[in-house]
Amino acid sequence: MAEAAAGGEPIHRELGLTDEEHDRIVAALGREPNRAELAMYAAMWSEHCSYKSSRVHLRELPTEGPHVLVGPGEDSGVVDLGEGLACAFKMESHSHPSAIEPYQGAATGVGGIVRDVLSMGARPVALLDPLRFGPLEDPRNRWLFEGVVAGIGGYGNCIGVPTVAGEVRFDPAHGPNPTVNAMCIGLLPADRVLRSGGGRLGDLLVLIGARTGRDGIGGVSVLASRTLGRAGRDDRPSVQIADPFAEKLLIEACLELADRGLLAGLQDLGGAGLTCAVSETAAAAGAGAELDLEAVPLREDGMEPFEILTSESQERMLAVVRPEDLAATREVCERWGLISAVVGRLTDDGALRARDAGRVVAEVAARSLTDDAPLYRRAMAVPAGLVEVQADDPTFLSPTVAPGDALLRLLAAPNVASKRWVWERYDSIVQGNTAAGPGGDAAVIRLEGSLRAIALTTDGNGRYGRLDPYLGGAHSVAEAARNVACVGARPLAVTNCLNFGSPERPEVMWAFRETIRGMGDACRALGTPVTGGNVSFYNEAEGSSIPPTPIVGMLGLLVDHRLRLGSALRPGMAVYLLGETFAELGGSEYAETILGAVSGRPPGLDLEREAGLVALVVEAADRDLLAGAHDCSDGGLAVALAEAAIAGDCGFAVSLPGDLPSHVALFSESASRAVVWLDPSAVPALEDLARRQGVPIERIGESGGPRMVFGEEIDAAVVEAAAVYEDAIPGLLGRSAGEPMVRSTG
């Protein structure tokens, strides 16, 4: 008989388990689970840990490629960069905690993703932060926005890892449900990748770092695996507490242990805490594990076994250490001022057995927590009314605003406007290898001892996902690849964070499946396999659900950082448009901001053309033909050129491409396009290269002067556009662009 909680509800339901899942646990154990065992299963069988609703679809993504050393299944994917160097990178969500405690939720999101990269033996070298909020006119949204930004900056700055890129978008659906994703990149020797299955029978399980407390208990089973309609201030104990200074010590100690060859494996204690780290370590090694809960360093008295097993207290790692290396491991930890404790060992019976005061308090098969988690094929259905919304194409609605006024309004729109207010809160140059930080198409990080560099970006458009999730998923990959190419780098691989509503709703699962299909097709066409990522479901509250919001993190390789392209326009350049503009305003920033319409279909996407554009820009950069480049996305050609002009304080005079209506030519968001500028002497070589690559190319004008001139349609001063662009976000927050923020602590 299932045990009941104080309120009469069975405990397994309170923990997020269904009646059927409870019955599966009983069948696996041959008896009723006790309180500790039930908590372990609830955590490990949650959506966050088990991917029980998404695994069947995620298998459709391409995960192998010539550069992939480690794909999905480990804490982080790893890509070979050549010359003996590898890159670990991963993205995850911390949206639910951030909706309750924005500072701590965002800060611990950064800490967790850093430890995912650290667990592979990599030194964290960069952070990116794709964020989504409701409109800033609402006080709660401003509180969330400021708190999340403060949490990211506070944690990243303290641990000395630069936050170099990201993006911020606003949508009413993200008011009750902010989306807070964090991405980390780390570097390591290609021949020293740590894996979770590296342990052997008899190896010791050593807990390193902070003491274990009650913060974070139920984080994955309570917060991350249900809608926020039931969450609120009572869920604050489920939000972890951050200590970035302890994390910095943990980073250095773990890297020294890896450098000295003292680790057989390393696992982050994040979601599901000790239970997850130990069960995954044991299952990957084909082993079991004995745990002594009395040996776990605690910071609170009277903690029960289930609390110790599932606490998500931060700044902790589980090291797998050979017995002969224990003394050296302890010496390293002590020198870095960290607690280390042997809390268990790997055994040969396949069971995860936890003892407290010598008494067995939990005994389950390790693989039953990991490999035997439920797998669901959820019902799917096209959302009601979607066909009608797609048919309502805003492309040929009569414009109600003059083109010049429309451009200024778009530059002031929160989704387009400068995010300087955000990224100036972050240290983007610590470690000294940032060649290009926030504000461009992609960040660029130099590789020490080499001329090479890596390029990093994140992208995702919720409007596209709402109108056509297949195209939303495909565009997220395509734009990320385009951004990386626009700094001169060749795209290598992606990670992702897939943010959706409840998987129990058929329309959500249909959109999820379609998103995966679009991402998979784009990744195959662009040669960018998926090395890992995260699925964040249940982003719903107060009757509101976020739109399908796939975020892609793209890694690219630049052969020579001295050939890096910038997005700041220079005077005296020939200005070219690469790619072709079509009559496509569906899902565009212009349609929403100027026409008040979020309808139609997103721009079409010819993946062969996209691959050709990427190849052209990368080769042109390698041959030093270009002075700069900027991709065309939100706001189309007009916004792309205006942003380049603002960045370089340099005007231009261009003609509009094709025979489209002027507002369509200016603001269409047709894919597979970029504006580039180059010295006139390099024009013949670029035109010849474009012809050979089969990419449409058109010289549209020249750069120089103080004004932005689009034929006879727009004539605006760069300084006027810059003021509108830079002041929009600070204005919505009620302060000037240079005024500091009062730090929010949640």
The catalytic residue positions are: 48, 94
The two structure tokens encoding residue 574: 């020939």
Give the C-alpha separation, 93 to 130, whole Å: 10
* Spatial contact of 273 and 328, defined as CB atoms under 8 Å apart: no
Give the C-alpha separation, 534 to 537, whole Å: 10
Burial of residue 543 (number of CB atoms within 10 Å: 0-12, 13-18, 19+)? exposed
All residues at 6 or more sequence positions from 250 whose CB lies less than 8 Å from its CB, including other chains? 115, 118, 208, 209, 315, 316, 317, 336, 338
* Spatial contact of 588 and 667, defined as CB atoms under 8 Å apart: yes
All residues at 6 or more sequence positions from 688 whose CB lies less than 8 Å from its CB, including other chains? none
Long-range contacts of 691-697 (CB under 8 A, 24+ apart): 693/612, 693/615, 693/616, 693/619, 694/612, 695/578, 695/579, 695/609, 695/612, 695/613, 695/616, 696/578, 696/579, 696/580, 697/576, 697/577, 697/578
The size of the chain, in residues, is 746
> In the β-sheet with 453-459, what is the strand arrangement from edge to edge?
434-436, 443-446, 453-459, 549-558, 490-499, 530-536
The two structure tokens encoding residue 697: 């190319």
All residues at 6 or more sequence positions from 310 whose CB lies less than 8 Å from its CB, including other chains? 39, 40, 43, 217, 218, 221, 272, 273, 274, 275
Tell me if residue 541 falls in helix, strand or coil: strand
DSSP state of 353: E
Phi-psi category of residue 257: left, alpha or beta, with phi > 0 → left and psi -120 to 50 → alpha? alpha
Tell me if residue 225 falls in helix, strand or coil: coil
Nearest CA to 581 among 656, 476, 474? 656
Q: What are phi and psi of 233, to 5 degrees?
A: -65, -30
CA atoms within 13 A on the CB side of 52: 25
The two structure tokens encoding residue 648: 């370089």
Give the C-alpha separation, 105 to 155, whole Å: 11
Please give the C-alpha separations between residue 518 and each of 57, 229, 388, in angstroms, as whole numbers: 12, 30, 21
Q: What are phi and psi of 726, to 5 degrees?
A: -80, -30
Give the C-alpha separation, 463 to 602, whole Å: 8
Nearest CA to 667 among 723, 568, 579, 594? 594
